[in-house]
Amino acid sequence: MSEPIVWLLDDTKSVSAIAQDPTTNADLMGSHPIVAWVVGSAEPVVPPGWDATLALDANSLREVGQDVADAPADGATAILYDSENWSYTPLIEQETPAASIAHAASLAHSAGLQFIAAPAPDLMKVADPLGSGTEFDKYLAMDIPQAVAASGADVYVIQAQVLETNPAKFAAFVHECAVAARAVNPGIEILAALSTQPDGQKVTAAKLEQCVNLTQGDIAGYWMFIPSPGPWAPNTTAFLPGIARQVIDHFKG
For residue 157, what is the domain's CATH number? 3.20.20.70
- 5: exposed, middle or buried (Cβ count in 10 Å: 0-12, 13-18, 19+): buried
Nearest to 191 by CA among 212, 169, 205: 212
Could you say which DSSP state residue 41 is in?
Answer: B
SS3 109: helix
CA atoms within 13 Å, Cβ hemisphere of 141: 14
Mean pLDDT across the chain:
94
- Indicate whether 106 belongs to any domain: yes
Tell me the β-bridge partners of 243.
none
Task: Pick the range with the lowest mean pLDDT from 21-30, 44-53, 116-125.
Answer: 44-53
Nearest to 242 by CA among 210, 206, 192: 206
CA 16/CA 45 separation, integer angstroms: 8
- Indicate whether 1 belongs to any domain: no
- Record the pTM: 0.96
Q: Can you give the residue range of the structural domain that contains 136?
A: 6-250
**Predicted local confidence at residue 2, as pLDDT:** 59
Q: Which helix (H) or strand (E) holds 36?
A: strand 34-38
Asked if residue 38 has pLDDT above 90, the reply is: no
- Indicate whether 118 belongs to any domain: yes
Asked if residue 30 has pLDDT above 70, the reply is: yes
Give 54-91 pLDDT, tens digit per residue: 999 999 999 999 999 999 988 899 999 999 999 999 99
Give 102-158 pLDDT, tens digit per residue: 999 999 999 999 999 999 999 999 999 999 999 999 999 999 999 999 999 999 999
Give 200-215 pLDDT, tens digit per residue: 999 999 999 999 999 9
**Predicted local confidence at residue 47, as pLDDT:** 83
Query: What's the domain count of the chain?
Result: 1
| Arithmetic mean of pLDDT, 7-32 | 90
**Predicted local confidence at residue 40, as pLDDT:** 60
- Indicate whether 77 belongs to any domain: yes
Q: Which helix (H) or strand (E) holds 47?
A: none
**Predicted local confidence at residue 41, as pLDDT:** 66
Contacts of 42 (CB under 8 A, 6+ apart): 12, 13
Asked if residue 1 has pLDDT above 80, the reply is: no
